Structure 1
Amino acid sequence: MEILVLIAAAFGAGVLNTVAGGGTFLTFPALVFIGLPPVMANATSTVAVFPGYLGGALGFRPEFRSFGRAQLVRLVAITLAGGLAGSGLLMVSSNAAFSRVVPFLLLGATFAFLFGDRFRQWAATRARAVRPEGALGLFAVALYGGYFNGGLGIVLLALFTLWGMTDLNRMNALKSGLSFLLSAISVAVFALAGMVAWPLAVVMMIAATAGGYAGAPLARALPKSVVRGVIATVGFAMSAVFFWRMVSAG
């Protein structure tokens, strides 16, 4: 039964990530539900959804060519540094401390997803006031991604808007590529630290990949409002569950 729960959650996460994002809202709670400690559940969840980022990055290869090599090297270096710092922070976090932070991270990621378009519009009005490609902002976002990862794509797109980028395809290309590299460094750190439940992670990776493939026709068919409503409902429900767990634990 536990394996079936994980397969269903990972398949659903693959679908959600293809359609709009938010797969972490399913994989992380499912792993906690079957009894994994929160820190190990977060690390295993990161590994489970990792393959999907590569497909997205490869799909935007033409857009990547529009970025200069020096520019990409700089952005990649900052992302890897931030991801390494965030992954290291998770390694030293106790399960009790992480459990107290998770409800707020889930709730914040849900709001980021729900109001992502408005956030990007607001960011566009502030773009001229922000230094292009600021290292501090990208490092902070990468640190968050290395620590938790939920809602990472939305936050990256908003950051790119603050930098003054307007071409959504180029923004999605950069988001996919940096997300893949960030997840890669996190997976490497978690694997070396022994924080990944590999039998569960492999099963979930397969299910998530299948879900990602199945999500393509859904992405074309479902109205955006329906997808947004489903993910927001899941996000708020999971946030409520983890807030309840935090209060119950004292």
Structure 2
Amino acid sequence: MLDMLILALAAFGAGVLNTIAGGGTFLTFPALVFTGIPPVAANATSAMAVFPGYLGGAVGFRAELASIPRTRLIRLVLVTLAGGAVGSGLLLVSSNAAFSAIVPVLLLVATLAFLFGDPIRNWAAARARSVTPEGAAGLFAVAVYGGYFNGGLGIVLLALFALWGMTDIHRMNGLKNGLSFALSAISVAIFALAGLVAWPQAVLMMVAATLGGYAGAPIARALPRRAVRAIVTLVGFSMSAVFFWRLLG
């Protein structure tokens, strides 16, 4: 019961964080590991836990998604699905020991991406170019990362869109949510078929994360942006430090 309470609270907090600014993975993945789920299965179960939130985000930005030419959107979704499948496949062949060794680095990179998200996007916008085959290759690489470990995925996607020359933040957020949903859909399907998902924990966390996402809306309106960023960054650095300590200890 204590483990279930920890998981429910972590998922609720993740739903709140994802609604406000992102970073829910910093809570769901460590909570699953700390309650005894092996790292690879914990990553798969965490992906399943936050999956409903991506659908809600995509539906919320349906008007922005509709403004993107259909052929371009389909092409980008197909590239994302391919990259997500490859990344998820890489997780399937990763041992718990190997994944545990790389997790602290992934958490730290995701935290830094969140902390410096605005400068990264500004840097990318200054070097903007139109969508090219290289742009598709970049999306594929980002999707591989997202299929393997999706922490900080949204920040990286927004920076990539800025490189492509996109400037409308609402359109960028719509595309980010749509592609994140497509990536998560293929990932959780692969994880489920491979038997990696701990279903009792996943179902509990999906419900809690959905409730947290709903609760996050008024919190997002009330909290200053700096406070939100400070909270997410603190959680990210703390989880990175804990996993580095576990690895070195």
1:193-247 Cα deviation digits (max 9, x unpaired)? 0000000000000000000000000111100000000010000000001001111
The aligned counterpart of 2:152 is 151
1:23-42 Cα deviation digits (max 9, x unpaired)? 00000000000011000000
Equivalent positions of 1:60-209 (< 5 A) are 60-128=61-129, 131=132, 134-209=135-210
Distance 1:34 1:177 in 2: 32
Matching residue's letter, 1:15: V
Deviation at 1:134, TM superposition (A): 1.3
SS of the counterpart of 2:114?
helix
Deviation at 1:128, TM superposition (A): 3.4
Distance 1:219 1:132 in 2: 37
Consecutive aligned runs of 4 or more in structure 1 exceeding 6 Å deviation: none
1:16-63 Cα deviation digits (max 9, x unpaired)? 000000000000000000011000000000000000000100011111
Contact 2:130 2:165 in 1 (8 A): no
Contact 2:44 2:191 in 1 (8 A): yes
Measured at CA, do residues 177 and 228 of structure 1 come closer, stay the same or move farther in structure 2, by a change above 3 Å? same
Deviation at 1:129, TM superposition (A): 8.5
Distance 1:128 1:145 in 2: 23
The aligned counterpart of 2:24 is 23
SS of the counterpart of 2:129?
helix
Distance 1:143 1:133 in 2: 15
Aligned residue-pair number? 248
Distance 1:50 1:25 in 2: 15
Distance 2:134 2:186 in 1: 21
Distance 2:130 2:168 in 1: 19
Deviation at 1:66, TM superposition (A): 1.1
1:77-113 Cα deviation digits (max 9, x unpaired)? 1000000000000000000000011000000000000
SS of the counterpart of 2:37?
coil
1:128-167 Cα deviation digits (max 9, x unpaired)? 3984871110000000000001010010000000000000
Contact 1:7 1:204 in 2 (8 A): yes
Structure 2's unaligned 5+ residue stretches are: none
CA RMSD of aligned residues (A): 1.1
Deviation at 1:69, TM superposition (A): 1.1
1:104-126 Cα deviation digits (max 9, x unpaired)? 00000000000000100011111
Measured at CA, do residues 115 and 175 of structure 1 come closer, stay the same or move farther in structure 2, by a change above 3 Å? same
Q: What is the aligned-residue identity percentage?
A: 74
TM-score w.r.t. length of structure 1:
0.97
The aligned counterpart of 1:225 is 226
Distance 1:225 1:45 in 2: 27
Distance 2:58 2:67 in 1: 14
Contact 1:14 1:215 in 2 (8 A): yes
TM-score w.r.t. length of structure 2:
0.98
Distance 2:92 2:133 in 1: 32
Matching residue's letter, 2:38: P
SS of the counterpart of 1:127?
coil
Matching residue's letter, 2:169: L
Distance 1:128 1:195 in 2: 40
Comparing 57-66 and 12-21, the one that deviates more = 57-66
Structure 1's unaligned 5+ residue stretches are: none
The aligned counterpart of 1:56 is 57
Distance 2:62 2:28 in 1: 28
Contact 1:132 1:164 in 2 (8 A): no
Contact 1:132 1:163 in 2 (8 A): no
